[in-house]
Structure 1
Amino acid sequence: MNQSDHVPEVAGSSSHSSHGTERVHPAMIRLRAAMAAAKYHGLELDIHDFAAEPGEDSPSPATLARWLRDQGAAAKGMRIKWRYLVRMTNTPPIVLMFRDGSAALMVGASPEKGIVWLRDPMKGEGAVPVAVDELRLGRIWTGDVLLVKGRVGQSEAEAPINFGWFAKMVLREKKSLRDIAIASMTLSILQIFPPLIVMQVVDKVVNYHSMATLVSIAGIVFVFSFYEVLLSYGRRELSLILSTRVDARLSLHLFSRLVSLPLEYFERQQTGNMLGRVMAIYKVRDFLTGKLMMTFLDLFTLIVILPFLFYLSSTLAWMTVAAAGLIGLIVVIFTAPLTKIMNKQIEAERDRGAILYETVAGIRTLKTLALENSRKQVWDEMTARVVRWKLASGRIQNWPQTLVMPLDMFISRGIIIIGAYLALVSPSSVGAGGLVAFMMLGGRVATPLVGLAKLMDDYTEVMTSLGEAASVLNQPTETKALTTGMRPPIKGALSFEDVNFSYPGATTLALKDVNFEIPAGTMLGLVGRSGSGKSTITRLLQGVSRSYTGYLKLDGIDLREINLTHLRRSFGVVLQDNFLFRGTIRENITAGRPGFTIDDVIRAARMAGAEEFIERMPAGYETFIEEGSTNISGGQRQRLAIARAVITDPKLMILDEATSALDPESEALVNANLERIGQGRTMVIVSHRLSSLVNCDQICVMDRGAVVDIAPHDVLLERCDIYRTLWMQQNRHTEGRSAGKPDDRSSLIAEGE
């Protein structure tokens, strides 16, 4: 068989699955190729983590590279010519993109023979690679490749956020910065010519009445003005592009860093205050792409103009520089006190923003309890604090502005008087034309010097803002846990071995020497008084808290060794208070997993007992859920959350007071489905209502963070005092009636009185 016979097998359009003649979609082959390249570097990826870009039939190299970077690899898509590709010998696998949307892995090359070896990504690593030459590869290859390597050191996504990190982000736009610098240098040079032309007009045209010279100068002025307008437009456009690109990269990074913070951190922070600190980072962006860059560009203008001023009149030039220097000195003197007051103002504005956020987030409680006046009082106090510091800031800023005004007037008005005096006393020192030219350029000397001094003031404020943002974004993230670790198939066997855990800042253990194990497929109930540690166990299972001691194993593997994304995607979790996003019912049930069909959605809704109320809605599964789920009841929201959990067919489900918000009829419906939902999967159910746990295979009774007993319902009734007490408290009236004692309830009430 020749080489051309092998090429179709490498191309995705002709790949076949293990079932025989079933054709594999080219997009799947590209994903498998990227996953195989990452696996070479020890990174196991889950294909379910990939989110396709809208409108892409097959993922592009840029999309794949972004996905791999999010998963912890270093990846880059690029276009390359054959002569360079064939020289890439002894390299890790390279993903080659094919025209039909599929891909292949290049695992070797030989420049002497003019061939590369390709392997089908749908086959195992032991598959024999195919040798392909330039002519045959050119028929199917787009010229695009995806380079993948293991991440070394701290990447931009993981490095601490500081001024250096920000500067590197801006400096990555080398092409835009270069073009802006060239445009600025050209503009600086062009700014010298108008004063020179004016000087010639005054000295030559007016004095000698030369019309020909005026026409020539007018033409030169027009040409220079045209180029100055054109370059100014170009520089503004380039600056806008630079700012937009930095803003986009910053926004993506900021959101990625924020959502990678652990849940424990968010639980300890005031949301409005935290968001205010994070958003302060945009002040740094404005500073770097605006004031800082413009000031340095103006300094270049100063370098060009200053020698020309000394050429016109060294006396006037020294006086201008001295006045500008004094202006800068005044600004520097007032920087420290102004910074302190500005910090107080920023803090007050951030606290006021937190009050506003908290009020809007809790608007339902505010309205139902008629708390408008009390919240207005708090808002008034915070506003008064902001106004007080704003007034103090304005007053201290007024002083340097007042002191600078005489010096600024001297540069704009005093210099011309002194220059005129010098022209009268010594006409050879400066002429009329030279004096006018000096006045046109002299004002441009003070601007960059004052801007440089003010830059120090702005720098202090920006560093304060950066410190505020860094206090949030530089917190330890879950990035490593989310992108590394084992991805074993989940069956659901759980084992706790001497597990101890305490919350940050707590003096007592939330879990104390917890020991029990259950096989896969077990329905486990967790019961106990409030604060006994039930929900803490579910937090550990979800990987929310990993700072426990002892061993918590899933299918014999310590939970801390398992990739956190893989772990959470393998679980179905229903909490006591579930959040639904703005969007349709269907979108909320699929929860961003576009692979699910409407049949999958209906099946999940039926299992959760939600199908009946969904079908009664005007738009059915396309009914739009408002922010805060205000257009559905608490019970309906809970059933949608259960449907969202079961649609992925998880092998382990956690229900933490999942039926607490349901009415008795809905609760009975969900409980009736629990056994069907639990078939083939492990269920961990936390509930205060013991009647919903009667059919559990095992019920774990907890008290003060320790396991008191674990057994089925009937056994616990006989031997566990805590469980029996809880059961009697919840079922004493029912049991009294069933025992033929209709007066038990009244007697109990009488005893209570």
Structure 2
Amino acid sequence: MIKVARYHGVELDPNEFRAASTGTVPTAADLSQWAQSGGMWSRAIRVRWSHLLRFEQTGPVVLLFSDGRAALLTGASAERNLIFLTSVDAPDGAEAIAIDELRLSRVWTGEAVLLRPERSFVAADAPFTFRWLMDLVRLETRPLRDIGIASFTLSILTILPPLIVMTVVNKVLQFNSISTLALLSAVIVVVFAYETLLGHARRMIINVVGARLDTKLNLHVFGRLLRLPLDYFERHPAGETLYHLAQVYRIREFLTGKLLSTFLDLMTLCVLIPVMFYINATLAWMVLGCAVLIMLIILAFLAPLRISYQRVVDAETWKSAALGETVVGIKTVKALGLEPQRKALWDERVADAGKARLAFGQLANWPQTLVTPIERAMVLGTMLIGAYLAMNDSTGYMVGSLFAFMMIAQRVAQPLVGLARLVEDYEEVGAAIGEAASVLNRPLESSSNSVGLRPKLVGEIKFSDLTFTYMGTKTPALDRVSFDIPSGSMFGIVGRSGSGKSTIARLLQGINRDYSGFLKLDGVDLKEINLRHLRQGLGVVLQDNFLFRGSIRDNIIAGRQGLTLSDAMRAAHLAGAAEFIERMPNGYDTYIEEGSPNLSGGQRQRLAIARALIHNPTILILDEATSALDPESEAVVSDNLMRIASGRTMIIVSHRLASLTECDQILVVDQGKVLDVAPHSVLLERCGVYRQLWLQQNRHLEGRRGRLAAVPPGMM
């Protein structure tokens, strides 16, 4: 697998292959899942010999043998009925061995793994545009071809009923031909039965294509969302993001609904319009003239409608942002009694959205008003003129032709009007694409999970002359910062609010990479390290940690493959969470609701520490992890710090200096600059800022010592 991945320019991490730790023979599904987790496209399949002969110009294919071994299929020759295999242990450049079907069948049962980079005709990193969506639709070539054939056949069948009616009027009624009537009845039965079955098949295929497009869109949208950088979510309300992404469903409905049905109807027009001109050219020109007039009216209103609809989008975005902010911050709203203020804000946003929608609806009503009489004229007008032509027809065949034309005109009018309105619908969908693109086309956190180095992490960190400035500000958050963190040490970071403590933690996590200077991890620049590999070697505990809906066990394991209840118990014990978990009625199966209302702040924090420790990280970052804890919970966590820090590099960002006294080194930062790095006792003597912070936080202890010293010895 690693060889095949390297062939495609991807480096798989053996540590991510969970099946290897179990000691069992990995299956094709295990290998495929490993490749997918490394950022590749992969499928575990079962194929026959005839399929292998088709892999002449493809990349290597992994064949799994029944004895647990594997080989790489590097080529095939259909003419010679041979395939070429290379052992997975063979050195690079080794010559492939030719194998025939008989020899392979003795060791191979048909299992294979296909791999390629996570790219297709619709590139995963391509901008989200209408062209991208059309490329996505074009991938469904085969079912769309079937739909086209079925639609063309149905279009031909739609000609028969009008022609049959014309024949009945002109032949059967005029000449009283019973035999002709019987023949036409038989034809009608056959045509209706065939049309019913074909229509059913077409609708089934359309449903399948719609489901496939819907699935691909959802996977793409969620994948892009996960790869957006954290600072995007910090700058944009959740409600705004969700509203923009919700427009994807309107786009999907347009693609699989109006767009597809309109283009299918165009096939019907290609068949019916020539028949209309064949029956009566005068009436046919009337129908086409009305359709062109409808198109011109709709085009005239497009620009004003686009401007008006943009106002609707802006108003709805602000409304969704207010709703999302209220839901996310409902605890604060309830605690501070802010319901009236939030309701007033919501009323204002709803009123703005209502006004915008009303204005858009009133403007959109005008083209509909102007188009309606033209639509009626298209049907009724042609009928009246056709009746006039029939009265002046000496041959007597115009009556049947008029009936046939009216039936065809009704089938033609709807697609023509639909084609005209498709332009109007496209404008709205174009706005929806713009809204979704405002989220999906943001710069991604990394180009791919497979990009970057994957060094073995030891935990040695070095900042060298590093400067970092947040977007939209001019003052650097970190200004020419330099310090070292030895591997396996316990390192504290302290400073006043806004001094840059948490910025250091963010840079270590790779959240921000646009810094100058150097940040090296085990001698490798952090910018060159694969983000996924980096974060799998990190354990991070924040001040306010989010617990997912589910059991305590699921939250500790956090969905990581291959981990069991015993792993969760080990991490909980190390974090000091085991004692309260075991007191709960359902223990590790205790269900946590959204917002974890059944847990205290200290319990949530200890679960977060257990979750960070579950995969035994090389580096553990505690970013103000104890600042919101009660004294009892903080004492439990502090008592376990030495056990937690054993064998790993621990970085503790805190404004509580008492939690840093056991650190090997403490970094003091102020206004983005390094003031000093030393142990606690040394900093008290030589660092004025550290000493001032210590005295502020421990003034009560110093006062108590002074009072005790003033008491005479005999009074003690």
SS at match of 1:628: coil
Q: Would you say 1:240 and 2:207 are equivalent positions?
A: yes
Q: 1:101 to 1:413 in 2, by over 3 A?
A: farther
Partner of residue 298, structure 1? 265
Give yes or no for contact 1:320–1:411 (8 Å, CA) kept in 2.
Answer: yes
Match for 2:677 among 690, 710, 718? 710
Q: Would you say 1:447 and 2:414 are equivalent positions?
A: yes
Cα shift at 1:114: 4.6
Cα shift at 1:486: 1.1
Partner of residue 405, structure 1? 372
Q: Would you say 1:382 and 2:349 are equivalent positions?
A: yes
Cα shift at 1:341: 1.3
Cα shift at 1:506: 0.9
- The one-letter amino acid paired with 1:253 is H
Give yes or no for contact 2:464–2:518 (8 Å, CA) kept in 1.
Answer: yes
How far does the alpha carbon of each residue in 1:666-713 deviate from its partner, in whole angstroms, 9 at most, with x for none? Answer: 211111111111111111001111111111100111111111000111
Match for 2:123 among 147, 153, 156? 156
Partner of residue 714, structure 2? none
Match for 1:260 among 210, 219, 227? 227
Cα shift at 1:65: 5.6
Partner of residue 499, structure 1? 466
Q: Would you say 1:119 and 2:91 are equivalent positions?
A: no
Distance 2:85 2:380 in 1: 78
Give yes or no for contact 2:125–2:447 (8 Å, CA) kept in 1.
Answer: no
Match for 2:571 among 594, 604, 618? 604
Cα shift at 1:257: 0.7
Q: Would you say 1:489 and 2:456 are equivalent positions?
A: yes
Distance 1:74 1:436 in 2: 58
Cα shift at 1:284: 2.1
SS at match of 2:442: coil
- The one-letter amino acid paired with 1:457 is E
Match for 1:193 among 160, 163, 166? 160
Return 679-688 or 94-103, whichever deviates more.
94-103
SS at match of 2:491: strand
SS at match of 1:553: strand
Distance 1:378 1:619 in 2: 42
Partner of residue 688, structure 2? 721
Partner of residue 545, structure 2? 578
Q: CA RMSD in A?
A: 2.8
Give yes or no for contact 2:539–2:621 (8 Å, CA) kept in 1.
Answer: yes
Give yes or no for contact 2:84–2:96 (8 Å, CA) kept in 1.
Answer: no
Cα shift at 1:197: 0.9
Distance 1:244 1:87 in 2: 30
Give yes or no for contact 1:86–1:116 (8 Å, CA) kept in 2.
Answer: no
SS at match of 1:722: helix
Q: 1:171 to 1:65 in 2, by over 3 A?
A: farther
- The one-letter amino acid paired with 1:735 is E
Distance 2:83 2:354 in 1: 74
Partner of residue 588, structure 2? 621
Cα shift at 1:39: 2.8
Give yes or no for contact 2:82–2:98 (8 Å, CA) kept in 1.
Answer: no
Aligned residues: 706
Partner of residue 341, structure 1? 308
- The one-letter amino acid paired with 1:117 is L
Aligned ranges for residues 516-527 of structure 1 at < 5 Å?
A: 516-527=483-494
Distance 1:154 1:556 in 2: 39
How far does the alpha carbon of each residue in 1:217-265 deviate from its partner, in whole angstroms, 9 at most, with x for none? Answer: 2221111111111111111111111010000011011100110011111
How far does the alpha carbon of each residue in 1:108-135 deviate from its partner, in whole angstroms, 9 at most, with x for none? Answer: 77887956434246x9869998875432
Partner of residue 325, structure 1? 292
Give yes or no for contact 1:422–1:430 (8 Å, CA) kept in 2.
Answer: no
Match for 1:424 among 359, 375, 391? 391
Q: Would you say 1:701 and 2:674 are equivalent positions?
A: no
Partner of residue 456, structure 1? 423
Q: 1:213 to 1:41 in 2, by over 3 A?
A: closer
Distance 2:265 2:427 in 1: 20
Distance 1:100 1:723 in 2: 65
Q: 1:742 to 1:227 in 2, by over 3 A?
A: farther
Distance 1:63 1:404 in 2: 60
Cα shift at 1:559: 0.8
- The one-letter amino acid paired with 1:167 is M
How far does the alpha carbon of each residue in 1:613-667 deviate from its partner, in whole angstroms, 9 at most, with x for none? Answer: 1011111001111001111111110000000111211111100111122221221
Cα shift at 1:64: 5.4
Distance 2:628 2:671 in 1: 25
SS at match of 1:527: strand
Give yes or no for contact 1:523–1:683 (8 Å, CA) kept in 2.
Answer: yes
Q: Would you say 1:289 and 2:227 are equivalent positions?
A: no
Q: 1:70 to 1:317 in 2, by over 3 A?
A: farther
Distance 1:154 1:233 in 2: 31
How far does the alpha carbon of each residue in 1:22-43 deviate from its partner, in whole angstroms, 9 at most, with x for none? Answer: xxxxxxxxxxxx2331134442
Distance 1:490 1:611 in 2: 29
- The one-letter amino acid paired with 1:590 is I
Aligned ranges for residues 6-17 of structure 1 at < 5 Å?
A: none
Match for 2:508 among 523, 533, 541? 541
Give yes or no for contact 2:71–2:85 (8 Å, CA) kept in 1.
Answer: no
Cα shift at 1:184: 0.6
Return 137-146 or 660-669, whichever deviates more.
137-146
Give yes or no for contact 1:87–1:109 (8 Å, CA) kept in 2.
Answer: yes
Give yes or no for contact 2:602–2:629 (8 Å, CA) kept in 1.
Answer: yes
Partner of residue 103, structure 2? 136
- The one-letter amino acid paired with 1:385 is D
Distance 1:550 1:221 in 2: 81
Partner of residue 676, structure 1? 643
Partner of residue 477, structure 2? 510
Match for 1:646 among 606, 613, 618? 613
How far does the alpha carbon of each residue in 1:533-567 deviate from its partner, in whole angstroms, 9 at most, with x for none? Answer: 11100001000000111111111111111111010
Q: 1:315 to 1:100 in 2, by over 3 A?
A: farther
Match for 2:403 among 422, 436, 458? 436
Distance 1:108 1:300 in 2: 44
Distance 1:331 1:723 in 2: 71
Distance 2:290 2:667 in 1: 81
Distance 1:66 1:168 in 2: 27
TM-score with structure 2 length normalisation?
A: 0.93
Partner of residue 5, structure 1? none
Cα shift at 1:510: 0.4
How far does the alpha carbon of each residue in 1:302-331 deviate from its partner, in whole angstroms, 9 at most, with x for none? Answer: 121111111211111112221222122222
SS at match of 2:627: coil
Q: 1:203 to 1:117 in 2, by over 3 A?
A: closer
- The one-letter amino acid paired with 2:457 is I
Q: 1:416 to 1:151 in 2, by over 3 A?
A: closer
Partner of residue 26, structure 1? none
SS at match of 1:496: strand
Q: 1:101 to 1:441 in 2, by over 3 A?
A: farther
TM-score with structure 1 length normalisation?
A: 0.88
Distance 1:66 1:600 in 2: 22
Give yes or no for contact 2:52–2:83 (8 Å, CA) kept in 1.
Answer: no
Cα shift at 1:215: 2.3
Structure 1 runs not aligned, ≥5 long: 1-33, 745-753
Structure 2 runs not aligned, ≥5 long: 712-716
Query: Among the aligned pairs, what percent are the same residue?
Result: 53
Give yes or no for contact 1:324–1:445 (8 Å, CA) kept in 2.
Answer: no
Distance 1:665 1:238 in 2: 63
- The one-letter amino acid paired with 2:485 is I
Cα shift at 1:79: 6.2
Give yes or no for contact 2:575–2:610 (8 Å, CA) kept in 1.
Answer: yes
Partner of residue 730, structure 1? 697
